[in-house]
Amino acid sequence: MNSSVPVLTIDGPSGSGKGTISRLVATRLGWHYLDSGALYRAVGIAAGWSDLDLSDASALVRCTFDTEVGFRDDGDGEPRVIVNGVDATLELRTETAGAAASAIAAIPEVRSALKERQRAFRQPPGLVADGRDMGTVIFPDAAHKVFLTASAEERAERRYKQLKDKGVSVTIDGLLREILARDARDASRAVAPLRPATDAVLIDTTGLPIDVVVARVLDVVSRPIG
């Protein structure tokens, strides 16, 4: 459909820097940005608002179809995320929302229900897509693929600082446990598990400043294709 529009996929585990790097790279390239995790998180919190049981697959699939998600970019960093008309930006970033997202993301029908919604973001002049399966399942034909990693300890520390700055009360130990549990669930599920595409460039961001990671990713995009 939009297969002539170039796509850069940025996959990786929690706290590896996908969102930060994707937004900066998208701005530099003048491309659109898809935060696919926000869609899973939105369904997770909408399910919570409706008191749905996270093991009730058919109710969660209905909830996936019924949940409206909008992004509003005020140009001051992270776009606001509007879920069913409510600004849910802060709630969306909590580890509770991350864990709910990871749980519902293991349900194959929920993943299928979100497939076309994600592909619709592929619009000219290009798309930077951030998630777990962008390079493997959603945009397997993407011209450029990156897989970001970092040590679990550094990822927990980054998340700790990020949530503390937003006034959310957390501990590094608690975050580390939650991140490791989420990594294990995301990597072990049967459908679209977290793993690098065979043609992805791996970047270990442990100890690397954000601007260096951005430069490396832009370098991947500027390489000749094929």
Can residue 37 be called a binding residue for ligand YYY (CB under 6 A)? yes
Q: Minimal CA–CA distance to 132: which of 204, 46, 191, 218?
A: 191
* Site string (4-33) toward ligand ADP, x via CB under 6 A: --------x-xxxxxxx-------------
Answer with the entry of ligand ADP, ligand YYY, none that 213 interacts with (C-beta below 5 to 8 A by kind): ligand ADP
Binds ligand YYY (CB under 6 A): choice among 17, 126, 131, 135: 131
Contacts (Cβ under 8 Å, ≥6 apart) of 142: 6, 7, 8, 9, 129, 134, 135
Q: Was 166 annotated as part of a binding site? A: no
Handedness of CA 57, 62, 64, 65 (dihedral sign): positive
Stretch that binds ligand YYY, among 66-74, 96-104, 167-175, 218-226 (CB under 6 A): 96-104
Stretch that binds ligand YYY, among 26-34, 37-45, 140-148, 196-204 (CB under 6 A): 37-45
Contacts (Cβ under 8 Å, ≥6 apart) of 66: 46
Binds ligand YYY (CB under 6 A): choice among 14, 20, 64, 136: 14
Positions 160 through 199 that interact with ligand YYY (CB under 6 A): 182, 186
**Contact criterion met (CB below 8 Å) for 104 and 44:** yes
Can residue 144 be called a binding residue for ligand ADP (CB under 6 A)? no
Handedness of CA 43, 49, 53, 59 (dihedral sign): negative
Can residue 44 be called a binding residue for ligand ADP (CB under 6 A)? no
Total number of residues shown for the chain: 226
**∠ CA 13-76-148 to the nearest 5 degrees?**
20
**CA 81 distance to own-chain centroid:** 13
Can residue 162 be called a binding residue for ligand ADP (CB under 6 A)? yes
Can residue 132 be called a binding residue for ligand ADP (CB under 6 A)? no
Q: Was 12 annotated as part of a binding site? A: yes
Can residue 139 be called a binding residue for ligand YYY (CB under 6 A)? no
* Nearest to ligand YYY of 19, 126 (CB atom): 19
Q: Angle, to 10 degrees, between the axis of helix 36-49 and the axis of helix 57-66?
A: 110
Stretch that binds ligand YYY, among 56-64, 82-90, 128-136, 169-177 (CB under 6 A): 128-136
Alpha carbons 213 and 197: distance in angstroms, whole number: 19
- Summarize as ranges the residues that interact with ligand ADP (CB under 6 A): 12, 14-20, 158-159, 162, 205, 208-210, 213
Residues placed in the known binding site for ATP: 12-20
